[in-house]
Structure 1
Amino acid sequence: MAANVQPEFETVAAVIVTRNRRENLRHCLETLLAQTYPLSAVFVVDNSSTDGTAEMVKGEFSPAIYHRLPDNVGSGGGYRTGLGLAFEEGASWLWAIDDEVVLEPDVLERMMARVAQPHRVADILLPAEFDPQTGRTRVHQAWYGPLIHRDVVAAIGLPMEEFFFWAADSEFFGRARSTGKFKILRAPDIVVTHDKRNPDVLEAKRHPSRLYYQTRNTIYIRRHIQRSPYKTVRSLVRVALGRAAKVIFSREPRKLQKTVMIFRGALDGLRGRLGKTVEIG
């Protein structure tokens, strides 16, 4: 890790991936561009939105660099593209932000003070996510505002676009940890808010296709990356069977579709079949 690094000399480029969440994105960008620590660049990667996202970003947030993808490549492909752009821009730190995240003005300043005090003490910093719906605050290996040093990307590469949706973040952080070269610092006292109250977004998250990708990618990681028979079997029981049972005994609509998607995801995860195999709802 680098020595004698002062926070004021460390550049940070932010990356947001979005699709058809214009109002969430607007709120996220408003809080992002109000940060007390200056950003060298803000990249908005748009997964082919159809809700006027492009016009909103270009018309209201001119400092942001808008990058539209011709097809929806999911969060995996979106963050692969966005972090690649930030890396090529030359930023010392890459800040990955979900479009539902809302930030306090001093969040980045506090994060930078934590990782460079005055020497770099971590290569990845994971802030805590506050969920207003549940009142819970937890630290996740997710795109809820992790700060990633460019040395990590230089060493292990970018997120896997093959996951399409779900788990590209946890796989990326697991890959960094497995090298034994990088320190991941959890910061439960540095909190970002995950605003999931948009009713259209909540409805989309209930779509059966989401269960397919969640199940497939979780089992793929256990079977093909961690190569653990025990964790694979445990995931089949807890993730596939447990999730299917929860759906069957719930009052949710489309139970049959959801159950089929769960077991299809489990099978494809075992077989190592990745990519955009199911249209996302």
Structure 2
Amino acid sequence: MIYVVIPVHNRKQYTRKCLACLNDQTERDYRVIVVDDGSTDGTAEMLQAEFPDVIVCTGTGALWWAGGTNKGIRHVLENLTMDDNDFLLALNDDTEVGPDYLTNLLKACKAKYPCLIGSISVDIKEPGRLLYAGTYVDMSFAKFRDLAKTRFSHQYAKLVKHPLYIPSDCLPGRGMLIPMDVFHKIGLFDETHFLHHMADIDFSLRARKAGFSLYVATNCIVHEHTEATGLVLSKTTTLRQFWDALFAIRSPINLKTRYHFARIHAPAMPIYLTFDLARIFGGYLYRKMK
């Protein structure tokens, strides 16, 4: 059994498309748990009318990604019949998947067990544009190398010529298949320190330290609605917007989040933080001067 947990908030149009894709899966042994974190756009009514088989958990709007995902996981652990041979799939609602997606995830996990399996991602409007295909991490110097860029030049055509399973140092929560046994060994996502961003990276790093391998399956594809991915820094980002982003929960450069990540995972926190902050501030200046 695969338990698919999807946290949502006021994105009814994306949630509908995501759930419709899951209805078409060739693998039928799964349950979907949607955590509706205080949506006010009619999401609750849509779920009840169009997807009555979906289990719905609710929040007040303060759960964010990690809290919402954890609420769904707790519902599975506390209320549903499951065992250590089952899996949980963390999935975002701004994605769409093909009919063999769950089938291929299971095949990958069985081929590489014990492991967590991540998904590659492509732009839904430009499927040949590869967005994610694994990550190399140097925790000493805060260096995250995006393999979609450095190895495959953002070209899906290059990826398909490589092995089916690619090792990765961490995984995103945008299509991460997790054996239920992992939660018993390392706990849930850390919503205390990583309420939104980096909760998935922290979780997958902890799983790797506990002995679970991490792979990206190249035949497990999520199609991303890139316009819905949240805060993106660009050349047009003003100094005020950049400053606000350093403290915003939904921001990938939130300083508190980056500090806790360094404290927990870096072998030498001062060195890591120095390089991490240099990349954040240097990246902003570089984009402004381009």
TM-score (norm 1): 0.75
The percent identity for this pair of structures is: 26
Work out the CA distance in 2 between the residues paired with 1:242 and 1:82.
38
Alignment CA distance shift 1:132-1:171 (3 Å): same
Work out the CA distance in 2 between the residues paired with 1:192 and 1:122.
23
Q: Residue 171 in 1 paired to residue 202 in 2?
A: yes
Gaps of 5+ in 1: 1-10, 251-281
User: What is the CA deviation profile of residues 143-178 of structure 1, one whole-angstrom value per residue up to 9, with x for unaligned ones?
Assistant: 211100011111000001122221111011011112
8 Å Cα contact 2:15/2:93 also seen in 1: yes
Q: Which residue of 1 aligns with 2:155?
A: none
User: What is the CA deviation profile of residues 75-125 of structure 1, one whole-angstrom value per residue up to 9, with x for unaligned ones?
Assistant: 0111111122233322610011101110101111111122225xx623211
Q: Which residue of 1 aligns with 2:188?
A: 158
Q: Secondary structure at the match of 2:200?
A: helix
Q: Residue 235 in 1 paired to residue 276 in 2?
A: yes
Q: Residue 82 in 1 paired to residue 72 in 2?
A: yes
Q: Which residue of 1 aligns with 2:265?
A: 225
1:53 to 43, 52, 55: 43
Alignment CA distance shift 1:249-1:84 (3 Å): farther
2:120 to 122, 128, 143: 128
Work out the CA distance in 1 between the residues paired with 2:245 and 2:133.
22
Work out the CA distance in 2 between the residues paired with 1:244 and 1:14.
36
Work out the CA distance in 1 between the residues paired with 2:48 and 2:183.
29
Q: Residue 33 in 1 paired to residue 23 in 2?
A: yes
Task: Report the CA distance between 1:136 and its aligned residue.
Answer: 1.7
Work out the CA distance in 1 between the residues paired with 2:230 and 2:179.
35
Alignment CA distance shift 1:111-1:145 (3 Å): same
Work out the CA distance in 1 between the residues paired with 2:50 and 2:187.
33
Q: Aligned ranges for residues 67-78 of structure 1 at < 5 Å? A: 67-78=57-68
Task: Report the CA distance between 1:246 and its aligned residue.
Answer: 5.0
8 Å Cα contact 2:39/2:61 also seen in 1: no
Alignment CA distance shift 1:205-1:20 (3 Å): farther
Q: Secondary structure at the match of 2:32?
A: strand
Q: Which residue of 2 aligns with 1:97?
A: 91
RMSD, aligned CA: 2.4
Task: Report the CA distance between 1:247 and its aligned residue.
Answer: 6.6
2:56 to 63, 66, 75: 66
Task: Report the CA distance between 1:68 and its aligned residue.
Answer: 0.9
Q: Residue 191 in 1 paired to residue 221 in 2?
A: yes
Counting matched residue pairs gives 233
Q: Secondary structure at the match of 1:37?
A: coil
User: What is the CA deviation profile of residues 177-235 of structure 1, one whole-angstrom value per residue up to 9, with x for unaligned ones?
Assistant: 122x21222212321111224xxx46766776555342222332123432423222110
Q: Which residue of 1 aligns with 2:100?
A: 106
Tell me which stretches of 4 or more aligned residues in structure 1 moved more than 6 Å.
none
Work out the CA distance in 1 between the residues paired with 2:198 and 2:229.
19
Q: Which residue of 1 aligns with 2:252?
A: 214
Work out the CA distance in 1 between the residues paired with 2:195 and 2:181.
24
Aligned amino acid, residue 175 of structure 2: G
Alignment CA distance shift 1:50-1:243 (3 Å): farther
Work out the CA distance in 1 between the residues paired with 2:12 and 2:286.
32
8 Å Cα contact 1:176/1:182 also seen in 2: yes
Work out the CA distance in 2 between the residues paired with 1:47 and 1:210.
22
Q: Which residue of 2 aligns with 1:148?
A: 178
Task: Report the CA distance between 1:62 and its aligned residue.
Answer: 0.6
Larger fraction in strand: 2
TM-score (norm 2): 0.73
8 Å Cα contact 1:171/1:221 also seen in 2: yes
2:2 to 12, 27, 42: 12
8 Å Cα contact 1:123/1:152 also seen in 2: no
Q: Greater CA deviation, 155-164 or 136-145? A: 136-145
Alignment CA distance shift 1:23-1:39 (3 Å): farther
Q: Secondary structure at the match of 1:143?
A: coil
Q: Secondary structure at the match of 2:175?
A: strand
